[in-house]
Amino acid sequence: MQFLKNILDNLRPNFEEGGKLEKYYKGFEALETFAFTPGHTSHKGAHIRDAIDLKRTMFLVVIAMVPALLFGMWNTGHQYYLSIGELTGLGEGLMEKFIFGAIRVLPIVVVSYAVGLGIEFAIAIKNNHSVNEGYLVSGMLIPLVLPSEIPLWMVAVATAFAVIIGKEVFGGTGMNILNPALTARAFLFFAYPTKMSGNAVWIPQESGMAGVDGYTGETLLSQAYNAPVGAEFGGVAYDAAGQQYGSLADTMWASFWGWIPGSIGETSVFAILIGAAILIFTGIGSWRIMLSFLVGGLTMSMIFNAWGANAFMSVHPLQQLMMGSFMFGMVFMATDPVSAAQTTTGKWIYGFLAGFLGIMIRVFNPAYPEGIMMAILFMNVMAPLIDHYVVEANINRRLKRVKVAA
């Protein structure tokens, strides 16, 4: 580390007042504080003393996402080999699958970071404020919620949209109303629907590839939607090679571990739960939001179960929660500290409604299989309102106490 510090110390005079590159000091500062904890402290306002600063907080979130990313790479390769009928066993060709997936996934990560950080640095230098750290997380979230077949230029356009319209116009990190990563996904979902939904986007395809008999890219969600009325979902669900899982337990087993078609990081409940454990253990992600989100989703699934008008409604609640982006949204999207509700009571309400509405949109509207995305964005918009009423209620409660005493 001393080596790195020497380099930075040598470069520093260039960026300080009077140096050649004075204009770019904020860019230099961002890189320096990324590598080392800054030596200066704040002078104004109220403070909380803590060992980690914002950069290191964000970095912990990125670490929490690594299991989902690594699994996503393997799964991308696995789905591809399933679809061509080679190496279909789970244990076979671990490295081939992983490398195949990495070649597909890493460029998306690189584009997302390059475009997003490029815009953040440019704006920071232009407005002469420090580069915000928020994008370290958004830049990793964006690739994880996209299908592996997404064209790179679309990733770039969506990232630019999310950073500029979703975040910078409101004043940058900490001021955004919507979750930037979800803004990027929603933008892509509406702008280029053929690349974001349907059966052709979840599994990598070589041009001219025919696929094996029964090859299909249908996600469990669209299978559940298309299942015949009265059918037992566990009995009719099938994997990318068209092989039926056979029973509900097997379907749930596959979706828990995540070897099913879907967006890069969303399929494996197991990998996401590792991330959740890291977030909760370090106190960065709000367990209240996660728990109430889960309860909200369960409640809605059970109501649908009792109703049971079609096969999608009759899907087992646990299976319902493990399909699609429910778990990913719960752990990484809904808990975004900026766009979520801030008050403790507000967090319970916010999480519950997001999970509740997510399942509702997903089941009711076939055009929006990713109801979770819509629900979280919707609750992002509602979060300030929830907080407002929680604060008002608190003030009223305390006012009453004063009156009684007097």
Partner 1 sequence: MSTEVKEAAAAVVKEPSEPLFSKRNKSLLTDPLNDSNPITVQVLGICSALAITVQVKQAIVMSLSVLAVMIGGNLIISLIRNVIPSRIRIIVQLVVVASLVILVDQVLKAYVYDVSKALSVFVGLIITNCIIMGRLEAFALANKPWRSILDAIGNAAGYAWILIAVAVVRELFGSGTLMGYKLVPDAVFEMGYMNNNMMILPPMALITVGIIIWIQRSKNTALIEEN
Q: Least separation, in Å, of the C-beta of 160 and partner 1? A: 12
Q: Residue written as tokens 């509702």? A: 360
Distance of CA 294 to CAs 25, 220, 322, 372, 380, Å? 45, 19, 11, 12, 17
Q: Which two tokens stand for residue 390?
A: 């929680």
What distance, in Å, lies between the first and last C-alpha atoms of the chain?
A: 63
Angstrom distance (rounded) from CA 103 to CA 300: 39
The closest alpha carbon to 118, from 151, 156, 175, belongs to: 156
Q: Cβ closer to partner 1: 165 or 274? A: 165
In the bound state with partner 1, the residue whose beta carbon lies nearer, of 193 and 308, is 193
CB 328 within 8 Å of CB 297: no
Instruction: Tell me how far, at minimum, the Cβ of 227 lies from partner 1, in Å.
Output: 28
Minimum CB–partner distance for residue 199 and partner 1 (Å): 18
**Interacting residue ranges for partner 1, rule: CB under 8 A:** 151, 153-154, 157, 165, 169, 187, 190-195
Place of tokens 């209620």: 393
Q: Report the residue number, 165 or 277, with the smaller CB distance to partner 1.
A: 165
The CB-of-358 to partner 1 minimum distance in angstroms stands at 21
Nearer to partner 1, 157 or 295 (CB): 157
Q: What are phi and psi of 286, to 5 degrees?
A: -80, 115
- How would you class 262 by CB atoms within 10 Å of its CB: exposed for 0-12, middle for 13-18, buried for 19 or more? buried
Cβ proximity to partner 1: between 142 and 294 the closer is 142
In this complex, which beta carbon is closest to partner 1, that of residue 66 or of residue 157?
Answer: 157
Nearer to partner 1, 179 or 267 (CB): 179
Least spacing, CB of residue 73 vs partner 1, in Å: 23
Q: Tell me the closest approach of the beta carbon of residue 157 to partner 1, in angstroms.
A: 8
Please identify, using beta-carbon distances, which residue of 191 and 395 lies nearer to partner 1.
191
Dihedral of the CA atoms 227, 301, 321, 142 (nearest 10)?
A: 90
In whole angstroms, what is the distance from residue 385 CA to residue 342 CA?
A: 11
Q: How far is the CB of 195 from partner 1 (least distance, A)?
A: 7
Q: Do residues 335 and 285 touch, judged by C-beta distance below 8 A?
A: yes
DSSP assignment of 290-333? HHHHHHHHHHHHHHHHHH--STTTTS-HHHHHHSTTHHHIIIII
Tell how many helices (H) and how many strands (E) occur in the chain. Answer: 17, 0
Closest residue by Cα to residue 312 from 219, 214, 374: 219
Instruction: Write down the least CB distance from residue 170 to partner 1, Å.
Output: 11
> From the CB of 153, what's the least distance to partner 1, in Å?
7
Q: Which is nearer to partner 1, 3 or 190 (CB)?
A: 190
